Chain A
Amino acid sequence: MAVPIDDYLRTQFMPHIWCPGCGHGIILGAVLRAIGRLDLPKDEVCIVSGIGCASRAPGYLDFNTVHTTHGRALAFATGIKIARPDLHVIVLTGDGDAAAIGGNHLIHAARRNVGLTTVMFNNSIYGMTNGQYSPMTPRGRYASTAPYGNVERNFDMCELVRAAGGNYVARATTAHARQLSNYVENAIQTPGFAFVEAVTQCPTYFGRRNKMGTPVDMIEWFRKNSINAAAAAKLDPADLDGKIIIGEFYRGDAPEYTEVYDEVIERAKEAAAR
């Protein structure tokens, strides 16, 4: 079903700041289509971001929107969700924002299982600051601060969030826009913390430095190098080196934070009345 998304965009602020060929728009489209299919009232949606190219998304969206400080989106979102549990709070964040400076907030948001949907735009690089390596830059790849190739290993954020206690974990790429959108839809419907990693291309910094070709070549590369979670499970881990494993990795039903806190309020009121 085609879902019109123009109604969700603040088109008066276009053209957007993203570079030609940037994959962030594909992810944003997937998020908006998910919201459209769920037919969420605009007044009940709150989009929170940190700092970075990805985090500029909320400015273009006609919801309650907050562009916060670098890495802290989930902490702001936690305050919003706890104060107004009826709102659909969606966090749009970059890989630097979520995995580096905001990594601790991500772990704890997942552990608390606050009802937030987090979409991490993973372009494997710090886009906004011109291409330094991030915790998601694979070892050996080049970045402006990794001129001899990245020394560090990259994170598997899906495993991290799952281990920390999130209720929904999935990954797709910009080559799988429809799948990505479905995952975001499932994430929004999940009570508790939901995390979707969206692997995306940064042709300007990651692509150019790593000789990945055009944006289309990069998307094509994602398509060829992605492997489904089910298929991946049957392979030798050594054969998965350099592959992007996509799919829904986890669905849990641990109780959501604000619902549990409501019980605290009940108990506290009873105690006060005694």
Chain B
Amino acid sequence: MPGHNGRDLRLLQGNECCAEAAILAGCRFFAGYPITPSTEIAELLSEKLPQVGGKFIQMEDEIASMAAVIGASLTGAKSMTATSGPGFSLKQENIGFASFTEVPCVIVNVQRTGPSTGLPTAPAQADLMQARWGTHGDHPIVALYPSTVPEVFDLTIKAFNIAEQLRVPVILLMDEVVGHMREKVAIPHQSEIEIVSRPQPDVPPEEYLPYAAGPDGVPPMAPFGTGYRWHVTGLYHDETGFPTTAAPKVDRLMKRLYSKIESAADEITFTSDEFLDDADTVVVACGITARSARRSVRLAREKGIRAGMVQLKTIWPFPYDLVGDIAGRVDRIIVPEMNMGQLIGEVERAAKGRCEVVGYSRVDGEPIAPAEIVAKIEEV
């Protein structure tokens, strides 16, 4: 259905929207393993990818899916996988490989209630820390977190662009309810969408150093099979890509991996807020909980309470400065989340004691209602 501004207005499920956006972002390879509540992404991509000459494969498990995604990306294909809790756990070793070898890819985790098999069809927000620290060792990672179907569209495109720009795995965290709810979304025409592709070498193959980075910390990446023969390894490596154990080189690599994300932090930090200017109580939330938070501060305002909210669409790197700034200006930050308290730890780190930080956890497989947050806001 043609909508406003020539855009295609559609009623889409979060998962469907993610798949549609992935294709528009340039995704041409998907490998996955079925798991509720993410499966619709795979199903839709099995249909759509071959229509645009892309490839879809259902692998034997999530470990293999993650591996295949990295393999495809090495040839230059924009690649993605989608999963949920147990599958996200299985992907972790290879996510670390992608992060360390700087292979762009997008991993969607439509969260369900864990641990273990948990409540397979119920929402939870308990993978925030796994998204950051699921794989072993220090490593750079980016995680984005939509709260509406239109945001799923926007952040899926951004996930691919950031993965390519920074050569980093980008995790798109979704809530089960966002993955499954249907909302109206205006799909822009392909020509209106900004697409970023990984930096390419501007030197001939003989001079190519696959891990020599420019000032932005991101090395150019030649696709396999184009004359640039290079080596990829999960061992510490120097600029040549070959293994090294030399302490200064080991140190330099780890610090570059962190700094490439830090120096792009402003560009990749997305938030949305309401009533922040004069607020003395601010609700910090993400995903579906941010929607309740938005409603709750409106309700609180009706009661004359100076409440505001900020939604973190970028969870990792965590926007410490932004949250710290707010902490310096307000009396209280409330952190509602559908877990036993994950986001709150980062908020406290950012607040550094400059204001009171109060958590609110709901862990029964049900989303947090606005009234629950209002009650918390009123509880001075």
Contact = CB atoms under 8 A, between A and B. Distances in A.
Contacts, number: 134
B55 A83 contact: yes
Interface in A50-88: 58-59, 62-69, 72, 75-84, 86-87
B205 to A, nearest CB: 9
B195 interface: no
Interface in B57-73: 57, 59-61, 63-65, 67-73
A247 to B, nearest CB: 29
A59 B50 contact: no
A44 B225 contact: yes
A3 to B, nearest CB: 19
A234 interface: no
Contacts of A63: 229
Given A64-B224, A261-B55, A78 B232 contact: no
Contact of A78 (B68, B79, B97, B229): B68
Chain A CB within 10 Å, residue with most, of B53, B77, B227, B231: B231
> Dominant SS at the A interface?
helix
B51 interface: yes
B229 A64 contact: yes
B86 interface: no
A77 B68 CA distance: 7
B70 A46 contact: no
A42 B230 CA distance: 11
B225 A67 contact: no
B43 to A, nearest CB: 14
Interface stretch (A197-205, A216-224, A262-270): A262-270
B243 interface: yes
A86 B68 CA distance: 17
Interface string B71-111: 11111110100000000000001100100000000000000
Contacts of B347: none
Given A48-B71, A79-B67, A65 B243 contact: no
Contacts of B234: 67-69
A268 B64 contact: no
A265 B50 contact: yes
A240 to B, nearest CB: 32
B231 A58 contact: yes
B5 interface: no
B356 interface: no
16 contacts: A48-B71, A59-B242, A65-B229, A65-B231, A78-B64, A78-B71, A79-B68, A80-B72, A81-B71, A82-B68, A83-B29, A104-B64, A105-B67, A108-B64, A265-B53, A269-B50
Top 8 closest pairs, chain A to chain B, by CB: A79-B71, A79-B68, A268-B50, A75-B67, A75-B64, A83-B72, A272-B51, A79-B72
Given A77-B71, A261-B55, A265-B53, 11 more contacts: A13-B242, A68-B232, A68-B234, A76-B70, A79-B73, A82-B55, A82-B72, A83-B75, A87-B224, A105-B60, A261-B50
Interface of B: 28-29, 31, 47, 49-51, 53, 55, 57, 59-61, 63-65, 67-77, 79, 93-94, 97, 224-227, 229-235, 242-243
